[in-house]
A and B are shown apart, each in its own frame.
Chain A
């Protein structure tokens, strides 16, 4: 196996590795915020909000991420809006992932006993206070494992940046593949991704097992 491509492309791979992490973290934070908002819309009693939340989740879960990325990258410039590649990737990934996070959060919230909401509301807390202080902390344990899996997917999905020459790990591989044998490059790249995803996956398993032992509440 000839890894001599690293002599020339080492810096590209380091830069790509950092970019992949940056995009994943930024997209994760954005998608968490969006996902929680959409989840609250979906369980809201205000019908238009509920409809919006449902339409959002169903639309983005059922259309490919590539289209969302291309929409931001190729579509918006035709309306005179130019975003940086980093922004395109973060926004595209965040919107796509938020539809899955919204579902995980909704399932978590709905798993909390209805009496909790009624008790908190009748003690005088308003809806937002109840959500924040009573419901969400209890839903947290149910939400975290699927969120962990979404984060792993996000890291893997960030490779889509290569399609818009976004300077991530996969793009560095594309660059190196022009001059060198591809198989060692792909094996090296697989290793880089595993370096990111395996620890995350172990962490998710650990948390799941630990919490299962403690009992759900």
Chain B
């Protein structure tokens, strides 16, 4: 095992470049899938005809196929339709499409967990359905979505490594380039990037636990 090959300056900088791409893609995908997933989740919760059915169809199809397939769709599939996205954009789009289906389910079950009496009481006070949703149900429901939402984001960060299949220059891909030239550095490199992913994801989990404690009465 050749640990020296990992800890040279150019190699470390190259890995950090990869980590930056990973973080950039993950950050944007988290923001977009939070917005899109929340909208989908609310649509499914509200049971508006047609719209909520479309949301169900979208959610159930996308969350039941492998993410790798979505990546291939978003890259090779779109190419065939003459939509030529830069690779980074393509991965962000694929991640948003996939993760928002999972976020939607988290949002829906959060909203469902709010006692029905809350809706009835708010409506009886004269609030409209939208007002009730916005001022009464969502604030209570969202609190409960934080832990599953954060673990979904941890999954998302881990899943960026699947973009290695289409050669996005992220952390795993850059590590692969180095160990393809130094066979004996394979294990040290994989361990190094594992630690890098771990640090990012574990810190996120800790923040989530703190947040959860702060928000619970």
List the interface of chain A (C-beta within 8 A of B): 58-59, 61-67, 70-71, 74-75, 78-79, 152, 156-160, 162-163, 170, 173, 177, 181-183, 186, 189-190, 193-194, 197-198, 201
- The distance in angstroms between the C-alpha atoms of A183 and B74, with both chains bound, is 10
Give chain A residues whose Cβ lies under 8 Å from the Cβ of B186: 74-75, 78
Q: Is the CB of A182 within 8 A of B201?
A: no
Give chain B residues whose Cβ lies under 8 Å from the Cβ of A186: 69, 72-73, 76-77
B61 within 8 A of A: yes
- The distance in angstroms between the C-alpha atoms of A208 and B100, with both chains bound, is 23
Give chain B residues whose Cβ lies under 8 Å from the Cβ of A61: 154, 201
What's the minimum C-beta distance from B215 to chain A, rounded to whole angstroms? 20
B156-181 vs A, Cβ < 8 Å mask (1 yes, 0 no): 00111110110000001000100100
Report which of B1, B65, B80 forms a contact with A190, defined as CB distance below 8 A: B65
Q: Is the CB of A181 within 8 A of B80?
A: yes
- The distance in angstroms between the C-alpha atoms of A206 and B217, with both chains bound, is 33
B44-75 vs A, Cβ < 8 Å mask (1 yes, 0 no): 00000000000000001100111111001100
Q: Which residue of A lies closest to B81 (CB)?
A: A183
Q: Is the CB of B194 within 8 A of A63?
A: yes
Q: Which residue of B lies closest to A79 (CB)?
A: B187
List the interface of chain B (C-beta within 8 A of A): 1, 60-61, 64-69, 72-73, 76-77, 80-81, 154, 158-162, 164-165, 172, 176, 179, 183-184, 186-187, 190, 193-194, 197-198, 201-202, 205
Q: Is the CB of A62 within 8 A of B197?
A: yes
- The distance in angstroms between the C-alpha atoms of A193 and B65, with both chains bound, is 6
Report which of B65, B72, B165, B183 forms a contact with A156, defined as CB distance below 8 A: B65
What's the minimum C-beta distance from B80 to chain A, rounded to whole angstroms? 5
Q: Which residue of B lies closest to A198 (CB)?
A: B64
Report which of A62, A63, A160, A198 forms a contact with B68, defined as CB distance below 8 A: A160
Q: Is the CB of A201 within 8 A of B64?
A: yes
**Assuming A66-B172, A182-B76, is B197 touching A157 (CB within 8 A)?**
no
Report which of B61, B67, B81, B154 forms a contact with A194, defined as CB distance below 8 A: B61
- The distance in angstroms between the C-alpha atoms of A193 and B205, with both chains bound, is 30
> Helix, strand, loop or mixed for chain B's interface?
helix
**Assuming A160-B162, A177-B76, is B179 touching A74 (CB within 8 A)?**
yes
**Assuming A74-B179, A78-B1, A183-B81, is B64 touching A197 (CB within 8 A)?**
yes
What's the minimum C-beta distance from A113 to chain B, rounded to whole angstroms? 23
Give chain B residues whose Cβ lies under 8 Å from the Cβ of A190: 61, 65, 69
Q: Is the CB of B66 within 8 A of A157?
A: yes
Q: Is the CB of B158 within 8 A of A64?
A: yes
Top 6 closest pairs, chain A to chain B, by CB: A159-B66, A62-B201, A64-B161, A197-B64, A64-B158, A66-B161
- The distance in angstroms between the C-alpha atoms of A58 and B202, with both chains bound, is 8
Contacts A75-B190, A160-B68 aside, 8 further interface pairs with beta carbons under 8 A come to A61-B201, A62-B198, A63-B198, A64-B159, A66-B164, A67-B161, A78-B1, A163-B164
Q: Is the CB of A71 within 8 A of B64?
A: no
- The distance in angstroms between the C-alpha atoms of A66 and B158, with both chains bound, is 9
Q: Is the CB of A63 within 8 A of B197?
A: yes
Give chain B residues whose Cβ lies under 8 Å from the Cβ of A198: 60, 64
Q: Which residue of A lies closest to B203 (CB)?
A: A62
Q: Is the CB of B64 within 8 A of A152?
A: yes
Q: Is the CB of B67 within 8 A of A156?
A: yes
Q: Is the CB of A193 within 8 A of B66?
A: yes
- The distance in angstroms between the C-alpha atoms of A170 and B81, with both chains bound, is 21
- The distance in angstroms between the C-alpha atoms of A189 and B174, with both chains bound, is 29
Q: Is the CB of A193 within 8 A of B80?
A: no
Q: Is the CB of A62 within 8 A of B172?
A: no
Give chain A residues whose Cβ lies under 8 Å from the Cβ of B61: 190, 194
Q: Which residue of B lies closest to A78 (CB)?
A: B186
- The distance in angstroms between the C-alpha atoms of A28 and B126, with both chains bound, is 52
**Assuming A59-B198, A67-B190, A162-B165, is B77 touching A183 (CB within 8 A)?**
yes
What's the minimum C-beta distance from A90 to chain B, rounded to whole angstroms? 17
- The distance in angstroms between the C-alpha atoms of A72 and B80, with both chains bound, is 34
